[in-house]
Chains A and B, each alone.
Chain A
């Protein structure tokens, strides 16, 4: 089977399973860039196409707007309601569609075949129910959020879609009060539902985003439960540097990344402040050289120049983002934290390694989801900027996770995932 056939087969199976209405819920695990949004849009079109009403729950306004836009383009005959908070102004990409109705009251939009909103907004909807529901980015959703909306489709059929490798939901409250409970509200929506119901889980098998150079490593390091392959073959994605380089260290890194899909830009070992100016400068400079070298991306759809908007720099902390911005990357390059890069896609990403320059590794920095997000946003190449000595740092800080009774352990372990990524990157050192 070609990747396209494998993906098609998986989608067909999921669609058939869901529309057979044999289960109150199904889970679809979708690795990075595996066509999650396409699946949501196709499923919606299929259900609504039969004249059924469907509700879509996503986690952020941006996610809802993206879905509504995609859906309206895919199925212009479908009426779509975009329910939003009061005072929120839906963006142009949503408002431009005649088939889309927007409103902050459910009565304004519930005549539509499809209604989409964030979980926060859905929680205020009362006295209505849907037979079909799709919960998007369900691994980012906290259990208590699901509790607030599940009554709307409790007698129907829910499709939970999301990426299990990304960051877990977060709380400012650190309490052991609910530890071990199957309905611990600090878990993800999928975790709680699965522990209580053991729903069937499907998996999208092909990443259309990650190139052949990245899919095997990301799959092995972060998705031990179910691997995936790249949708393109070796050599289909190429990064060409059209302008000759200088003999700078940045150029060397850019060249390795262009020819292999990976590069480790190593700085001398040193303990630094989190906002290590040298590392921030390196991130900015690599982005600059990439643009100046006239990088052109060749892929299965053709060729296009790698403009600044196709480049992202990812960090662990907000203050690092600020430091990188201060270091002056080319105008238009996205600089953001892992949390905010979730679900986004670029041609080239430059990653400030979460452990770079640190003396100690904390659970935050070792979290596998963070590293997974950072190393799985790219279509062509990923450059990791780091101070030397991270392997030693990891060995000096063996992950000794808190063990709690009746809490299922999580895979992958962040410590092991970090080791795996680092071992891989060793081969791409400038």
Chain B
């Protein structure tokens, strides 16, 4: 049993997926997040045990819409998809071979499915086999020494050329534009698949242009567009290469550190989480399941981080609300390295009071 497994204990782990790997890059300075992710701790369960409300559910309407759209795109041997790919990649019609990699002939489990995916993809890459559209492949990626299985929507294969990752998303492309945060998230996620597929067949066989399939305007009609994920790939590669630093973080944790959610009491869980330093910023609220816990903690400690990154940077090195107000008060002694900010804060305090008066 590895150290990370020991931390998780008997509680079942939470699998990584492309989204969670992409999220690793969202706040890589946060030790807490790094440890919990590396040990595959079930974060929603943890929050539930600490009596935080679940905010990460998806609306049944959104789930349903997403499913309907994906089914539509893949219906009839992925007829829609083929039509769009032909236009976008110039696939010749007769070469359209659709293979569903989920059918492994009874074999269960990730390893078997991944093996099957690997065989078919290698065959295709070597020019054997007739697969053009590979649906539901299972890719594998090593994340900080752990094997993570990933399931992209589809991989399209263009003859004589490159593999393309296809992402099917149900947000609309309205007059050729879509919601920027959603497109950005889709690009980060697709980059994880590109990275994993490149691991398998080599970088030069997988395109950095991923294909995004979305509903067009207010309709259900799928439309396709390419998104260049080169920047996301560079970022991802660097973040993955740095994840090994998890050992350094673990070394700083107390002996016998455990986050076995099934075994520990809420109080013990809270204490254990508190032992791993977090780096909270309000942006976490939309990205991390633990954010409400970290926010509460940041406020209890009066950290200025909780007021936003701009405030934190403006106050240049002052970490707490009380310290900032003390430094802003004329006559209070200040350290030499805070003389500059003290002078400026006293000035703004004075002109604020004058203007309000």
With a CB–CB cut-off of 8 A, which chain A residues contact B231? 399, 401, 409, 413, 415-416
Q: How far is the CA of A395 from the CA of B227 in the complex (A)?
A: 24
Q: Does B321 contact A (CB under 8 A)?
A: no
Complex partner residue of B316 from A271, A398, A406, A409, CB under 8 angstroms? A271
What are the nearest 4 A-B pairs in CB distance? A273-B316, A396-B29, A271-B317, A403-B187
Map CB proximity to A onto B164-184 as digits: 1 under 8 Å, 0 otherwise. Answer: 000000000100111010011
A138-146, A353-361, A421-429: which one contacts chain B? A353-361
Q: Does B344 contact A (CB under 8 A)?
A: yes
Complex partner residue of A357 from B29, B212, B316, B339, CB under 8 angstroms? B316
Q: Does A197 contact B (CB under 8 A)?
A: no
A sample of 30 inter-chain contacts (CB < 8 A) reads: A176-B177, A179-B180, A180-B176, A180-B177, A270-B337, A271-B317, A272-B316, A273-B316, A273-B341, A276-B316, A277-B339, A359-B313, A360-B281, A360-B313, A395-B29, A395-B238, A396-B29, A396-B279, A398-B25, A399-B235, A400-B232, A401-B231, A402-B180, A403-B180, A403-B227, A403-B232, A405-B173, A405-B176, A405-B212, A413-B231
**Shortest Cβ distance from A353 into chain B, in angstroms?**
15
Q: How far is the CA of A404 from the CA of B339 in the complex (A)?
A: 44
Q: Does A274 contact B (CB under 8 A)?
A: yes
Q: Is the CB of B317 within 8 A of A415?
A: no
Q: Is the CB of B180 within 8 A of A404?
A: yes
Q: How far is the CA of A413 from the CA of B236 in the complex (A)?
A: 14
With a CB–CB cut-off of 8 A, which chain B residues contact A277? 339-340
Query: Which chain A residues in 147-199 approach chain B with CB under 8 Å?
Result: 176, 179-180
Q: Does B66 contact A (CB under 8 A)?
A: no
Binding site for B on A (CB under 8 A): 176, 179-180, 270-278, 357-360, 392, 395-406, 408-409, 413, 415-416, 419
Q: Is the CB of A404 within 8 A of B177?
A: yes
Q: How far is the CA of A359 from the CA of B239 in the complex (A)?
A: 19
Which A-chain residue is minimally distant from B183 (CB atoms)? A403
Q: Is the CB of A274 within 8 A of B184?
A: no
Q: Does B15 contact A (CB under 8 A)?
A: no
Q: Is the CB of B225 within 8 A of A398?
A: no
Number of interface residues of B (CB under 8 A): 41
Query: Which chain B residues in 208-250 approach chain A with CB under 8 Å?
Result: 212, 225, 227-228, 230-232, 234-235, 238-239, 242
With a CB–CB cut-off of 8 A, which chain A residues contact B212? 405
Given A176-B177, A360-B312, 4 additional A-B pairs, CB 8 A: A272-B317, A400-B232, A406-B177, A408-B228
With a CB–CB cut-off of 8 A, which chain B residues contact A404? 177, 180, 183
Q: How far is the CA of A277 from the CA of B313 in the complex (A)?
A: 15
Q: Is the CB of A395 within 8 A of B242?
A: yes
With a CB–CB cut-off of 8 A, which chain B residues contact A357? 316-317
Q: How far is the CA of A359 from the CA of B230 in the complex (A)?
A: 26
With a CB–CB cut-off of 8 A, which chain B residues contact A402? 180, 184
Q: How far is the CA of A56 from the CA of B270 in the complex (A)?
A: 69
Complex partner residue of A400 from B188, B315, B341, CB under 8 angstroms? B188
Map CB proximity to A onto B328-353 as digits: 1 under 8 Å, 0 otherwise. Answer: 00000000010111001000000000
Most buried by A among B231, B239, B341, B344: B231
With a CB–CB cut-off of 8 A, which chain B residues contact A274? 313-314, 316
Complex partner residue of B235 from A273, A275, A396, A415, CB under 8 angstroms? A415
**Shortest Cβ distance from A325 into chain B, in angstroms?**
15
With a CB–CB cut-off of 8 A, which chain A residues contact B180? 176, 179, 402-404
Q: Is the CB of A400 within 8 A of B25?
A: yes
With a CB–CB cut-off of 8 A, which chain A residues contact B337? 270, 272, 278
With a CB–CB cut-off of 8 A, which chain A residues contact B184? 400-403
With a CB–CB cut-off of 8 A, which chain B residues contact A398? 25, 28, 235, 238-239
Map CB proximity to A onto B304-326 as digits: 1 under 8 Å, 0 otherwise. Answer: 00000100111111000000000
Q: Is the CB of A405 within 8 A of B313?
A: no
Q: Does B26 contact A (CB under 8 A)?
A: yes
**Shortest Cβ distance from A397 into chain B, in angstroms?**
8
Q: How far is the CA of A406 from the CA of B209 in the complex (A)?
A: 12
Which B-chain residue is minimally distant from A272 (CB atoms)? B316
Q: Is the CB of A405 within 8 A of B227?
A: yes
Q: Is the CB of B313 within 8 A of A400?
A: no
With a CB–CB cut-off of 8 A, which chain A residues contact B225? 405-406
Complex partner residue of B234 from A179, A359, A405, A413, CB under 8 angstroms? A413
Most buried by B among A395, A399, A401: A395
